Structure 1
């Protein structure tokens, strides 16, 4: 009698990109967004995020792509990561993406409150 044991799913090696490849993915993703192909941009930006999870620019681009692609929950997650790392003038555009993601989730009051606090913080 032979007993078969379930085989574990093969482990995937983490994707390793060079900074030059990262830049290329960002450029191609931007072009896809310009052509209203957010799904393709999201795919490329998710790959870039796997290799550069702490890269604020990748996170900002991913947040915008997810929002344009109709995934406001994923956009809010990416925007939250980007907002925590953003400073100065970059906080406003990332904050707008986050507020729009909240709004599209039906969280209108939270979106208004966040925008009010964002504007208050930038004025002081």
Structure 2
């Protein structure tokens, strides 16, 4: 997460390609690519919507989520960094919990969300 924007984009593209590589059964490669990209975009948008709704109402509260899926935690960390939020993962009773907080008194979301930015690329 402490990488430049270009490096973070390369990591996200690499992870997207890796995830698609594991699903290459049945339909052709191009069709898998569209579905994998759609899943990634939908997942990013879902996290963006949740965080926007939460911090718009309670900018100083702490958002918590139980996420055992490491890839989804990575996406949430990326969304948090892009939105200038603080995120941390920890073990809680054998599961992984993420806590997200706002470093500012007010919540100021970016004008262009990460999912929209990646769609432009």
Q: Normalised by the size of structure 2, how large is the TM-score? A: 0.28
- RCO higher in structure (CA 8 A, sep ≥6): 2
- Structure number with the higher strand fraction is 2
Larger Rg: 1
Q: Normalised by the size of structure 1, how large is the TM-score? A: 0.28
- Structure number with the higher helix fraction is 1
